[in-house]
């Protein structure tokens, strides 16, 4: 990524007969449409122009139910369904590509095998107790340095600049909730929920555990804590994009009652390459 480009740019564009909110994601060479209203034909034309202008290789649109077949008719493909994304109504991930290498998955059959192993697991909806010597707590602004250090230790590359403490602090200020697990004051595991209050959904993301502390149920602890926070804030939809090559993270979401709703091809640059991401979603029971 050229040094003069930001990691991403969120924009809202108003045309004569439409409004579209999208992210120019330079780190991952993609354009993501998060919201829109109005003329779907004009929106599609405009976002393809913007993607080409910035040499982005993937575009995906969170389409409303009434529009996904229109996007399909323009050459987009349905990659997944965000169940309950728009205040309980589904969003359809409609994607198209400008690069054959980006379109072609290198590990699809292996990922299918991992998915089948995950789907054969028993569900584990119950909350585990926090084992000794761990402590679980919500993160504070002063934890941003520790959090960024954790992500930089685990991920060679990551879709967002989580190795920058200022970026982590900025996400907190914008409403993202982080929970963390410590062992004798050392940060060993963390996860976050990025909240969209307008549509009452949240992305469960930024999941990381140091290798020496894996397979101890820490991520399930974090997910339970985050879900409780979301329910208290009247969030009704939780979803996550998990590396399709990661048995562990996919198992966490399946066992906690999330449903599998598709796979997004080479969706983001994570670890050291563009990876396919499995889409998981769950309806939260808000009292």
**Which tens digit of pLDDT belongs to each residue from 228-275?**
999 999 999 999 999 999 999 999 999 999 999 999 999 999 988 999
Give 64-73 contacts, CB < 8 A, sequence gap 24+: 64/89, 64/91, 64/92, 65/89, 65/90, 65/92, 67/40, 67/92, 68/92, 68/94, 70/40, 70/41, 71/40, 71/44
> Which 3 state secondary structure label does DSSP give 222?
helix
- The fold adopted by the segment(s) 108-283 is Aminopeptidase (3.40.630)
As a CATH number, domain 8-103 is 3.40.630.30
The pTM of the full predicted model, rounded to 2 decimals, is 0.95
**Domain residue ranges in the chain:** 8-103, 108-283
Instruction: Give the number of other CB atoms < 10 A from CB of residue 236.
Output: 19
Q: Do the domains 108-283 and 8-103 match in fold?
A: yes
In whole angstroms, what is the distance from residue 262 CA to residue 7 CA?
26
In whole angstroms, what is the distance from residue 157 CA to residue 28 CA?
10
Mean pLDDT for the stretch of residues 152-156: 91
Instruction: Give the number of other CB atoms < 10 A from CB of residue 275.
Output: 25
Structure tokens, 141: 């602004």
Digit-coded pLDDT (tens) for 124-148: 999 989 999 999 999 999 999 999 9
Q: Check whether 2 has a pLDDT greater than 60.
A: no
């Amino acid at each position: 990524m050229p040094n003069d480009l930001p990691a991403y740019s969120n924009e809202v564009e108003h045309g004569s007969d439409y409004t579209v909110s999208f992210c120019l994601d330079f780190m991952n060479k993609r354009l993501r449409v998060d919201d829109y209203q109005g003329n779907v034909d004009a929106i599609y034309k405009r976002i393809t122009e913007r993607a080409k202008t910035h040499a982005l290789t993937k575009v995906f649109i969170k389409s409303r139910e009434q529009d996904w077949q229109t996007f399909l008719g323009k050459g987009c493909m349905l990659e997944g369904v965000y169940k309950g994304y728009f205040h309980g109504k589904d969003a359809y991930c409609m994607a198209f590509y400008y690069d054959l290498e980006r379109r072609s998955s290198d590990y699809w059959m292996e990922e299918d095998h991992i998915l089948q192993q995950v789907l054969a697991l028993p569900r584990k909806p119950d909350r585990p107790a926090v084992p000794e010597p761990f402590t679980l707590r919500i993160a504070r602004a002063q934890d941003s340095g520790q959090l960024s250090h954790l992500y930089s230790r685990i991920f060679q590359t990551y879709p967002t600049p989580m190795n920058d403490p200022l970026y982590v602090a900025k996400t907190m200020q914008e409403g993202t909730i982080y929970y963390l697990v410590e062992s004798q004051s050392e940060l060993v595991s963390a996860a976050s929920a990025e909240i969209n209050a307008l549509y009452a959904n949240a992305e469960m993301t930024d999941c990381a555990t140091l290798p020496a502390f894996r397979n101890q149920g820490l991520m399930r602890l974090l997910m339970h804590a985050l879900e409780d926070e979301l329910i208290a804030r009247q969030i009704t939809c939780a979803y996550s994009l998990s590396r399709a090559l990661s048995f562990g993270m996919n198992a966490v979401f399946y066992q906690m009652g999330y449903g599998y709703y598709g796979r997004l091809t080479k969706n983001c640059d994570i670890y050291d390459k563009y990876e396919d991401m499995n889409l998981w979603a769950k309806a939260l029971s808000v009292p």
